[in-house]
Homo-oligomer: A and B are copies of this chain.
């Protein structure tokens, strides 16, 4: 229809290219060490356009964080939403799902998080999140509310259902953190793990082995208190 070869508004392609490049470079070097020159070059555009589109380096950084939230949402959002509607306590709603169902969904959730954290794509933005955790900036709220809070909410519901314990108790929440930790370690301590296992990458075979181990651990941890 329009004379443009593409159908994005005029400078939208530039905006997207800058964000895409910025994820890599902010992720690799951190906010301070990353240079707007390098980002513009990687994006195939001009350095001055960062000021035009985002107001400056900090504005670009915030746009990058929002983009990460969107990417993660596309990956695990559907599963998280599905669990949320099934397990969110609605007064007068249908019968409560069984613990078996909750356990199956918890395994799915852990698998989804593991798949995300071991993907090559996650290497860049996982670093950004790690940095924000160590030294939260004003952008941390975006990540917390867009990712962590959502995942932890449904995870504590599942654990509470399996154990027959309150989802908001300290023990339930701490259990959720340890489940996340077991998964997170394969991204965070990746260099140590590759060296220790004599692996060269986290390919499908390696991820399958990890998945099996996590499955056993999740079952063991959740069965434990159920029997008390």
Contact flags A130-148 to B (C-beta < 8 A → 1, else 0): 1011111000100010001
Could you say which of B130, B136, B210 contacts A134, with CB atoms under 8 Å apart? B130
* Contacting residues, chain B, for A174 (C-beta < 8 A): 197, 209-210, 213
Q: Which of A28, A178, A196 has the largest count of B CB atoms less than 10 A from its CB?
A: A178
Could you say which of B30, B170, B184 contacts A181, with CB atoms under 8 Å apart? B184
Contact flags A175-187 to B (C-beta < 8 A → 1, else 0): 1011011111110
Q: Which residue of B lies closest to A176 (CB)?
A: B196
Q: Which residue of B lies closest to A148 (CB)?
A: B192
Is A49 an interface residue when CB atoms closer than 8 A count as contact? no
In the bound assembly, the distance between CA atoms of A217 and B177 in angstroms comes to: 12
With contacts A33-B30, A188-B188 taken as known, whether A197 is within 8 angstroms of B220 at the C-beta atoms is no
Could you say which of B135, B170, B180 contacts A185, with CB atoms under 8 Å apart? B180
* Contacting residues, chain B, for A175 (C-beta < 8 A): 213, 217
Contact flags A187-228 to B (C-beta < 8 A → 1, else 0): 011111101110000000000011001101101110111000
Is A171 an interface residue when CB atoms closer than 8 A count as contact? yes
Is A173 an interface residue when CB atoms closer than 8 A count as contact? yes
Label chain A's interface by main secondary structure: helix
Chain A: interface size category: 35 or more
With contacts A181-B182, A214-B178 taken as known, whether A188 is within 8 angstroms of B29 at the C-beta atoms is no
Is A127 an interface residue when CB atoms closer than 8 A count as contact? yes
In the bound assembly, the distance between CA atoms of A86 and B144 in angstroms comes to: 44
The answer on a CB contact under 8 Å between B178 and A213 is yes
The answer on a CB contact under 8 Å between A184 and B178 is no
Given contacts A134-B190, A174-B210, A180-B185, 12 further A-B contacts (CB under 8 A): A32-B33, A134-B191, A140-B191, A144-B191, A174-B213, A175-B213, A177-B185, A180-B189, A181-B181, A181-B185, A217-B217, A220-B221
